[in-house]
Structure 1
Amino acid sequence: MEKLKFAIPETLRHKIAESAPNSLHSTCSSLLDFYQNLPLFHQLVRDLTDPEMALCGKNKEAALEAKANGNVCFSNGDFSNALRFYSQALHIAPTDVDDGEKNLVATLYVNRASSLHKLGFSLESLRDCSRALEISPAYAKAWYRRAKANASLGNHEDAINDLKISLKTETSLSGKRQIQGELKIMLGHSGQRSSLLEEPYDITQDEPLQVELQCIFTPTKGRGMTSYTDVPQASLIHKEDPYAAIILKHCRETHCHHCFNELPADAVSCMSCSIPFYCSTKCQMLAGGCGSSEHKKQYEFQRNLIDDLEDYVRNVTSPSITSSELDHAAEHEHECQGVHWPAVLPSDVVLAGRVLVKHIQQQSYDGAHPNIYAIMDLCQNYAQLSNESKLELHVYAIILFCCLQKFYASKLPFNSVIISEGQFHGNCPHEIFRCQSASRLSRNNVCGAGIHCNVRVAQAVYPGGSFFNHSCQPNVHAYFLSRTLFIQTTEHVTAESQLELSYGPQVGQLNCFERHQVLEDRYSFICQCRSCARVNLSDLVINAYRCVEPTCLGVVLDSSVTKYEKEKLGHLKVPNSLQGYMQDEDISSVAFQFCKENDNGCCLEAGHCLSCGSYRDIQASQKTISEAETYIGRLQDTMTGNEVPIKTITDAIKYFDVLKTFLHPFNKKVAEVEDNIAQALCLAGDLQAALDHCQASIEILEKLYGKDHIVIANELIKLVSIQLSMGHESAADNANRLVKIFSRYYGSHADIIFPHLTYLKKV
């Protein structure tokens, strides 16, 4: 990549640097003409697109080697490593290869099912057996292993049916005797047919949208969304599936490449290449790999199977997916060639390709010639990109065009790729987050103070969702179930007021200076939301220093913060016009002189207290702060285990007292240290002290975020878990409070996304 950029002549570099959205075709055409005569470029394209040279194809020999390693581990009782080797083999095993008399993939599924069963994962074992039977319906061992899994789950009727079919398909005498013995045991039990293999949640059954929205144009933010009527708090106002989506590289082995949920122990792979992992056969088929639409090999059963067992076999061996679902999105199909360009190119470049392919497919269904200009407006911020960014996306556009041509050939217009790639990189797509380990409730299974336990797992393009503008204090909340975007109001919104969500940084998370940096770097705009245009308590205190006067609660700011607060007030000529301009009435408690009428204005200077004007030497203070943070950091380093040395805790508390003499009581770092100490004290068994520090952390975060913010609900989980361990009656009130906050942000989906809420409702 760097060599390709370095080879571009200076004149062409200058032309690209000066390019605008309407000149993208010209500049990219010039770059393509140059690369056509560059051997280095042609070698790169061959490396990316030649299946013989790629590392992402299936490999029979490597799969058999991994299977053999798994067999050794299983024989030695090392079931965890056996599971790992069988999963590795499944990832690279071709679907049309036999291992002895059985299909290799089917055998690997049965082997992995045995490992899962030994490790106590009965449901996962059951699913793997069913996958083996989808490939080889007459596989006796798969039916037998499925019976064992069903028996472990209490599904005795299903287990009996599995054993009956296994008995019919087993050819060896010893095998038949073993199955007959199991049948005698099972016939003494009865139960209902299991529904465990069904999807846990069907978003098609979701509650309907509650309001009608309209897209408007504003002088400062362009397009935005409003409602014709007042919108009550906690109203579902938008629901949308992505136009295209892509998993991020760091989550490729931990999350499903289609629905983006965490991968289970029985993850499945693409049928034709070794890039994606999926949480289920359904996601595998919906993603649309090259082999996903092929019919499985059929096997002839003995004709004396009774009718009810024939139906049972059909239900087990046929994936529950409709043709309409398969037509919905086949975004992996054009990448599934045994080539590795989708694995090598950046995720957003691959996503740009998926957007383009989706559009071309839709146009071809309608019999229309592909018109990339009709996709969506994606070039609003192109002109604000740096010269280096423009050059980089031009190079990626040419590479993407050549890679896609291997699949689409003459169907792919050159200008469509160039414009799509160029426009796409002018805007960032939505980022899909997942709450990690949300189903477990534990006082130690928590993240740092005021930080969501969310993991960024994917990027997606939602045309409708893109109309919602950003605010650092949003009045709507976006979340995801599988791939579907949901947007819900978090406060009452009056008619024709803008409905705004957060693009990432929020008040309470970062100060105004830091938020502006993030938004400009990621989205190329300067935020003009209500919070960035007003003085608010959070921005003043989040990184503030303490006044040198012990009895003064005033804040002392550094130069970066004072610059932005001055800009907020720059247009005001009369100091007392600040009345009504403050966003939080508590500001007066930390900035008395700042709010007070003064002929000379307030003392808004770095290092000076905003209440009494006293001066603190911030540079000198920082030396002592850094030393204290070193000792406190040792505490966090030791919390990776189950025990924390008492001396480490006492040292941290000692230096925390020093830290508090320099940092303002509402400084976010103080909240984070309070939280770390609370977790350490929990590990040490001192629950009362842990409770006190946990409460202190929450009180600070309430000042930064507000009392009903989702961050507070996350922190209340820690508090409630400690209170429950101590038998405190107040746990019920706090549990009820956090349940209400989660419902405010996630509505009826709160219990689905956070299963522990069901337990907390009973507290």
Structure 2
Amino acid sequence: MKSTLLEKTGFFPDYYLNVVNQCTPEELENVGKCKTDYDRVKYLASLPFMKSSDLKIELDFNGKSIDIATKLKESGNAAFKAKKWLDAMILYSQSYIALPLEGNDDFAAIIVANRSAALYHMQKYEDCLKDVARAFKFGYPKDKMYKLYEREAQSHLALKCNEPAIAAFKKAVTAVDDANLPVDRRSKTIQDFIVMVKLLEKDLLTNKKPVKKTDLLSRTVKDEKEYMSESVKIDSNEAEGRFGVAVRDIKIGEELIVENPGASVLLQQYSKTHCQHCFIRVAIPVTCPKCIEVVFCSEKCQEESLKTYHKHECGILQTLWKSGASINCHLAFRIISSKNYDYFLKIKDKIDVKLSQEEMRKLSSDDYLKVCQMVCHADIRSNSNFFQHTLMARFLTLCLLKEDFFKGVENQEEAFVFISSLMLRNLQFIQYNAHEISELHYQDTKETTVFIGAGTYPNLAMLNHACDPSVVRYFRGNRVHVNAIKPIASGLQIHENYGPIYTQERCSERKAKLKEFYNFECQCDPCIEDWPVYDELKADKIRFRCDSDVKCRNIIDISPDCNEFMVKCFSCNQTTNILKGLKVMQDIELIIRTGRRLYESKEFSKALQKFIDCLRIMDEVLAPPFQDYASCQQNIKDCFIHFGNCYNL
């Protein structure tokens, strides 16, 4: 992921210049010359003007207002009466988000109950049931409770779940006693509910095996266990650092990694359209009790967020966004805010201890002892770079201080320096190890991959780059999946891609970008051999793999008009029969056409299998680069991406 410390706008650049103007050249250099991050933070804090120069940070809860919530609810009621169900649902959601929840349970109950009615008319029955459950939880008025039970029953009926419908109708009968209804209407209402109960009890569907009950308010994105295939080994050397190696032959399509983020952050523009915790797109939001900056997909995600990072971010997000700090800075902040001070204090003496790959593999992706092992490249940073990063670390830690992160800590000054040093460390390794989290937007045949957030994935971060990668990554929520997109022979490295692809950018352009952003000289095959971009791949040569008995890895370039079927390999001095390869070129045309037809029909699983079969057949006798091979790889990537975050515009 391309890394920057600051966005184009915000108040931090002016703050930085103000501090720099008060420093002597020697003081600026000394920050960079310090031996450790702890020393850098402590030295910066010791400068005489520093405390008086600190930004005055205030919490911001603007937008939460019972008056605003009331106006939005009234607008929602007007839309509902006009039978504009979608407008009503949106307005009720906005009212719910604007409502300060503390002390306003009765108001919240009315809003979500009204929203459940709009959802019922939109035939969104599962979402309707969730809001009915929320209304019960908030304490919906007893005199209207029978209406809510009836809506619950009718929603279950629409979902063909008779048993819960019967239970809801029975509760509705009892709830009528608390309703302010005339005697004749009360009697008729009760009779109507009883008739429904009797009809449903006679229904044959009732006698079928009941559906397993689940907590509606706990439903969230499917929980998938973290996974790293046993076929992947992490190795290292001085020249290449850490990298993934195949310990056996890996087939096209194999899933190699499923990883939850160590930490993840949404871009500001998606903070009210996606769940802050799991990143799935939210239609029926659950709100934060105090601020309007975030939404959640479920009470489960809300609870997890409020007990971890959001309790240290609620009210401070506007400050972070307005500062101009990049999403990488927010990610560095969230790595800290997701835990508490005691957590970091307990592991303080272990942070700089280098772990073996076996020890790393046993740790979860959010364990700081695993996260902090990622490369920082401190040895190549300039003094000015260190100064800017150290000042940013101090600012971010001041935000934590305002959020009572250090509440109850005895020596807060020492604790502040310690956490600031970790923040500085985070800023450094995130620059080289953060991954963009994406969502596929599509409309008709137009598809665009959109950057919605960023996360740290310590297992994925161990894979090195290649301009012709061997894996594709895609996201379900903020969980990353990594699958092979070409065969990987045992003993070879497993490569992902950091941005530049050989089919799209020339070698010199790719190498320059990788050097600028990641500080390494790319030595992948496309760079060493200077493969052409896609449009310049020659059609007048076919690259055959030598199929001799000595397992020669040589590639033999053949012209399509070659009249010989047996060609000598200059490496092993044996002959290769190219007739098989020529037949493959003919056979794959039909497979590719079938795969593309399935893709256009949105049958992505079937299309994926066709493209995998096609690439497997090609790879046995032919070698990249050539257009059909590159196209087939891209088709496999596109299919996998459709299994992740998608949004139909």
Asked whether the equivalents of residues 215 and 226 of structure 1 are also in contact (C-alpha less than 8 Å), the reply is: yes
Paired with 1:188 and 1:118, the residues of 2 have a C-alpha distance of 23
In 1, Cα distance between the equivalents of 2:318 and 2:119? Answer: 31
Residue pairs, 1:704-743, within 5 angstroms: 716=596, 720-721=600-601, 737-738=610-611
Q: Which moved more, 1:159-168 or 1:108-117?
A: 159-168
**2:334 counterpart (342, 354, 359):** 354
- The CA deviation at 1:467 is 0.9
Name the counterpart of 2:460.
Answer: 465
Is the 8 Å Cα contact of residues 490 and 744 (structure 1) preserved in structure 2? Answer: no
Q: Within the alignment, does 1:87 sit opposite 2:93 as a pair?
A: yes
CA distance in structure 2 between the partners assigned to 1:385 and 1:120 by the alignment: 57
Question: Partners in 2 of 1:428 and 1:745 — Cα distance?
Answer: 27
Aligned counterpart for 2:179 among listed residues 158, 165, 172: 172
* CA offsets 1:237-295 (integer angstroms, 9 cap, x no match): 333322211112232122211111121x21212233322211222221222x15xxxxx
- The C-alpha deviation readout for 1:599-623, integer Å capped at 9, x for no partner, is xxxxxxxxxxxxxxxxxxxxxxxxx
Letter matched to residue 147 of structure 1: A
Is residue 65–residue 100 contact of structure 2 (8 Å, CA) maintained in 1? yes
Please give the alpha-carbon distance, in whole angstroms, between the structure 1 residues aligned to 2:222 and 2:634. Answer: 19
Contact 2:221–2:278 (Cα < 8 Å) also in 1: no
The Cα shift of 1:360 comes to: 5.1
Unaligned runs of 5+ in 2: 1-11, 354-368, 542-551, 562-584, 614-631
Alignment of 1:232 with 2:251, yes or no, is: yes
Quote the residue 1:145 is aligned against.
151
* 2-structure distance, mates of 1:394, 1:714: 56
Q: RMSD across aligned C-alpha pairs, in angstroms?
A: 4.4
Deviation at 1:500, TM superposition (A): 1.2
8 A contact 1:223–1:467 mirrored in 2: yes
CA contact (8 A) 1:71 1:82 kept: yes
Query: What's the counterpart of residue 120 of structure 2?
Result: 117
Superposed displacement of residue 341, structure 1: 3.7
State how far apart, in whole Å, the 1-side matches of 2:646 and 2:452 are.
20
Aligned to 1:6: 17
Q: CA deviation at 1:458?
A: 2.0
- The change in CA–CA distance for 1:466 and 1:131 in structure 2 (over 3 A counts) is same
Higher relative contact order (CA 8 A, sep 6+): 2
C-alpha change, 1:446 and 1:219, in structure 2 (3 Å) is same
Residue 421 (structure 1) aligns with: 423
Aligned pairs for 1:485-634 within 5 A: 485-538=480-533, 541=536, 585=557
Secondary structure of the corresponding residue to residue 96 of structure 1: coil
Deviation at 1:466, TM superposition (A): 1.4
The answer as to whether partners of 1:372 and 1:420 remain within 8 angstroms in 2 is no
1:531 deviates by: 1.5
In structure 2, give the amino acid aligned to 1:272: K
1:408 alignment partner AA: F
TM-aligned CA distance change 1:401 to 1:209, over 3 Å: closer
State the AA in 1 paired with 2:244.
M
Could you tell me which amino acid in structure 2 is paired with residue 168 of structure 1? T
Task: Specify the SS of the correspondent of 1:491.
Answer: coil
Structure-1 residue corresponding to 2:162: 156
1:127 alignment partner, SS class:
helix
For the pair 1:273 / 2:276, whether they are aligned, the reply is: no
- SS for the counterpart of 2:300 is helix
- Distance, in Å, in 2 between the alignment partners of 1:36 and 1:142 is 62
1:472: Cα distance to partner?
1.2
Distance apart, 1:732 and its partner CA: 12
Q: Which residue of 1 aligns with 2:393?
A: 397
Deviates more, 1:128-137 or 1:66-75: 128-137
Please tell me whether the aligned partners of residues 110 and 129 of structure 1 are also in contact (alpha carbons under 8 angstroms): yes
CA distance in 2, matches of 1:254, 1:525: 37
8 Å contact kept, 2:149–2:169: yes
1:431 aligns to 2:435 (yes or no)? yes
Is residue 377 of structure 1 aligned with residue 395 of structure 2?
no
Aligned counterpart for 1:72 among listed residues 74, 78, 84: 78
1:97-108 paired onto structure 2 within 5 Å: 97-98=103-104, 103-108=106-111
Does the aligned pair in 1 maintain the 2:146–2:179 contact within 8 Å?
Answer: no
TM superposition score normalised by structure 2: 0.70
Q: Per the alignment, in what secondary structure is the counterpart of residue 405 of structure 2?
A: helix
Q: Distance in 1 between matches of 2:34 and 2:149?
A: 60
- Assess if the C-alpha contact under 8 Å between 1:113 and 1:125 holds in 2: yes
The one-letter amino acid paired with 2:395 is I
CA 1:55/1:495 → structure 2, altered by over 3 Å: closer, same or farther? same
Q: In structure 2, give the amino acid aligned to 1:716.
A: R
Matched, 1:29 2:36: no
- Please tell me whether the aligned partners of residues 125 and 158 of structure 2 are also in contact (alpha carbons under 8 angstroms): yes
SS at match of 1:168: helix
Contact 1:474 1:500 (8 Å CA) reproduced: yes
Q: CA deviation at 1:85?
A: 1.6
After TM superposition, the structure 1 = structure 2 runs for residues 181-192 of structure 1, keeping only pairs within 5 Å, are 181-185=192-196, 187-189=198-200, 190=203, 191=205
In the alignment, the residues of structure 1 paired with residue 272 and residue 461 of structure 2 have an alpha-carbon distance, to the nearest angstrom, of 29
For the residue of structure 2 that corresponds to 1:537, the secondary structure is: coil
SS of alignment partner, residue 473 of structure 2? strand
Aligned pair count? Answer: 535
| SS of aligned partner of 2:437 | strand
- 740-749 vs 354-363, which moves further: 740-749
Report how far residue 398 of structure 1 moved.
Answer: 1.2
Aligned pair in 2 of structure 1 residues 743, 454: CA closer, same or farther (>3 Å)?
closer
Match of 1:335 in 2: 313
Cα distance in 2 for partners of 1:112, 1:522 equals 48
Report deviation, 1:493.
2.0
CA contact 1:240–1:486 (8 Å) conserved in 2: yes
Identity of aligned residues (%): 18
- Helix, strand or coil at the partner of 2:54: helix
Q: Partners of 1:333 and 1:749 in 2: how far apart?
A: 36
Match of 2:267 in 1: 248
8 Å CA contact 2:272, 2:293 repeated in 1: no
**TM-score w.r.t. length of structure 1:** 0.60
Confirm or deny: 8 A CA contact 1:743 1:750 kept in the other structure: no
Q: Deviations over 1:422-456 (max 9, x none)?
A: 33233244435344367xxx8x2422xxxxx4322
Contact 2:472 2:485 in 1 (8 A): yes
Alpha-carbon separation, structure 1, partners of 2:265 and 2:156: 35
Q: Distance in 2 between matches of 1:228 and 1:22?
A: 39
Secondary structure at the counterpart of residue 527 of structure 2? coil
| Residue 343 of structure 2 corresponds to residue 363 of structure 1 | yes
Change (3 A) 1:738 1:490: closer
Offset at residue 110 of structure 1 (A): 0.8
| Contact 2:374/2:433, CA 8 A, preserved across alignment | no
TM-superposed CA distance for 1:536, in Å, is 1.6
Residue 569 of structure 1 corresponds to none
CA shift digits 1:487-523 (9 cap, x unpaired)? 2322332233211111233222333344334434443
